[in-house]
Structure 1
Amino acid sequence: MPTILGQNQYGKAENRVVKITRDGDTHHIKDLNVSVALSGDMEEVHYSGSNANVLPTDTTKNTVFAFAKEHGIESAEQFGIHLARHFVTSQEPIKRARIRVEEYTWERIETSDNNSRFIGSDEVKHSFVRKGQEVRTSQITFDGENWEVISGMKDLTVMNSTNSEFWGYVKDKYTTLQEAYDRILATTVQAAWRFNWTSDEQRMPNWERSYAEAKKHLLQAFAETYSLSLQQTLYQMGSRVINSRSEIDEVRLSLPNKHHFLVDLEPFGLKNDNEVYFAADRPYGLIEGTVLRDGVEARIPVDHTNL
């Protein structure tokens, strides 16, 4: 049976690069995990094994590290833009580059008053602890003319200990879940948002500020929504970002419901007045959805968690 080659790409995945910027005695850290995927005129390498159009994946790895030195790392998005532009414009067979970046953030270690003798010393200015809140993600795609930038986060765990209910749902003979009028609502946020910036570099968003603001609005919407369902919370979170950030047109959220079930304490003669819960890790409900600016088509992949 005759066959033809379909969509294909290649590159170097998960290049871990740590860039230290030394501002005198004060150091700054950018810690990234960068994956490069290139596509274009690559038919012959698949059909005949000819590598004439192939830029080695080892070269893409070296480029990541060289660019960290040559261009620095202002933000995950800006670094990805530098890389994507380079691969598409420097290699004629390469027509499209996709750069995916995870950023692991660090914060300075603060000394206590009892250790005030260290304040201002070199130890404090270059001592850090890894932040555990979330991993920042970004995907930058360039085809030689237009850009697509999708940023986001994963592994941001949040909880409301009240102001959440779940009742009035469909029941059949297999339903055992009891209606809840005051429950814990917890989830681990995985989010991706697409910028409407595509080409004009004079109007490029401030990536760092945009990320901080998008995260703020996600958290505020989660905290401030009196939730009758996790779906309702998801919509409010996405809407808050779009309504607050003009540079963002699409938000996709994946929210696993981190179930907390009231423990039956009656066998011990104790009343459980919404105080003691069993935190179940699996199975879990998974609520996913996309919120769009009116008139905009969805373009973020449904399986965005790998961005």
Structure 2
Amino acid sequence: MAHVLGQNQYGKAETRVVRIYRDTTRHEIKDLNVSVALSGDLDDVHLTGSNANCLPTDTTKNTVYAFAKEHGIESAEAFGIHLARHFVDNNEPIRRARIRIEEYTWDRIRTPDNSARFIGSEEVGHSFVRNGGEIRTAQITYDGDRFEVITGLKELTVMNSTNSEFWGYIKDKYTTLKEAYDRILATQVTARWAHSWSGEETQPNWERSYTHVRRHLLEAFAETYSYSLQQTLYAMGSRVLNNRAEVDEVRLELPNKHHFLVDLEPFGLKNNNEVYFAADRPYGLIEGTVHREGVTPVIPVA
């Protein structure tokens, strides 16, 4: 029986690069984890063992480091665009490049009174603490003609301590969940959003766009009186699309971080929605995409 080589790609995964800007005494840090995947005219490397069309993965790693110096890291998206364009436009057998980036943020360490320290008239800004919050993500795909840019974040944990209900659902003989009219709503947000930019127009301000999309996600979560996490998901995606013209599609993955009231009656105590058990698993997983009418979704299901 004949065998056929199907879709394939290769590259270097998780190249860690930290770029420090030392132009002033107030240093700036960009801390990325970069994964490169390349595809194209690569049949021979699989079928005959010829490496004539194979760009070594070690070279892709070195390119990440060199570009951090030569081009700098203005944003995860801009850096990924530089890399994708380079690999496709400068290596004829390579027809498509996909760059995935995770960005880790660092906060400045300040004095106990929250004031900056100065040497002369210069602010000293070289001490940082790794932010324990969300991780920013970016995926850039380029095929020689068009770019596809998907920005995102993960591990953003949020909670509403009230303004959430869940009742009126289907009940069968296996249903034990009690209806809730005032509950905690907590989740760890994974969000990805696709941009309308394809490479022909001026690039958006990626940093500003990320900041505003993140803000709209949080504001929608906080301001929505929720009857289900699904309703909150749609409100979050819609708010981004209503306020950010550069975004065409938002995909959200929202695990329901369940908080159950603890029965305190055995101890002679009444629990007035005050003491909860935070269950880590199993958890409800709510997923969905909100996109503009007429736009074909491009964000893959994880």
Which TM class, normalised by the smaller chain length? over 0.9
Q: What TM-score results when the alignment is normalised by the length of structure 2?
A: 0.97
Rounded to whole Å, the distance in 2 between the matches of 1:25 and 1:151 is: 31
**Match in the other structure for 1:284:** 283
The alignment's C-alpha RMSD in Å is 1.3
Aligned-pair CA distance for 1:23:
2.1
Amino acid at match of 1:215: R
Rounded to whole Å, the distance in 1 between the matches of 2:199 and 2:105 is: 28
**Match in the other structure for 1:62:** 62
Query: Share of identical aligned residues, percent?
Result: 75
Aligned counterparts, 1:193-208, within 5 A: 193-202=193-202, 204-208=203-207
Rounded to whole Å, the distance in 1 between the matches of 2:214 and 2:293 is: 21
Rounded to whole Å, the distance in 1 between the matches of 2:117 and 2:79 is: 33
Rounded to whole Å, the distance in 2 between the matches of 1:172 and 1:178 is: 13
Rounded to whole Å, the distance in 2 between the matches of 1:199 and 1:70 is: 21
Aligned-pair CA distance for 1:199:
2.1
**Match in the other structure for 1:93:** 93
Aligned counterparts, 1:1-307, within 5 A: 1-113=1-113, 119-121=117-119, 124-202=124-202, 204-303=203-302
Rounded to whole Å, the distance in 2 between the matches of 1:48 and 1:119 is: 63
Rounded to whole Å, the distance in 1 between the matches of 2:221 and 2:209 is: 18
Number of residue pairs aligned between Structure 1 and Structure 2:
300
Q: What TM-score results when the alignment is normalised by the length of structure 1?
A: 0.96
Question: Is the 1:30–1:73 Cα contact (8 Å) retained in structure 2?
Answer: yes
Question: Is the 2:25–2:124 Cα contact (8 Å) retained in structure 1?
Answer: no
User: Once the two structures are superposed, what CA deviation does each residue of 1:220-244 show, in whole Å capped at 9, x if it has no partner?
Assistant: 0000000000000000000000110
Structure whose residues are more often helix by fraction: 1
Amino acid at match of 1:182: D
User: Once the two structures are superposed, what CA deviation does each residue of 1:227-269 show, in whole Å capped at 9, x if it has no partner?
Assistant: 0000000000000001100000000000000000000011111
**Which structure 1 residue ranges, 5 or more long, are not aligned?**
none
- Which segments of structure 1 move beyond 3 Å, counting only runs of 4 or more? 121-124
Amino acid at match of 1:119: R
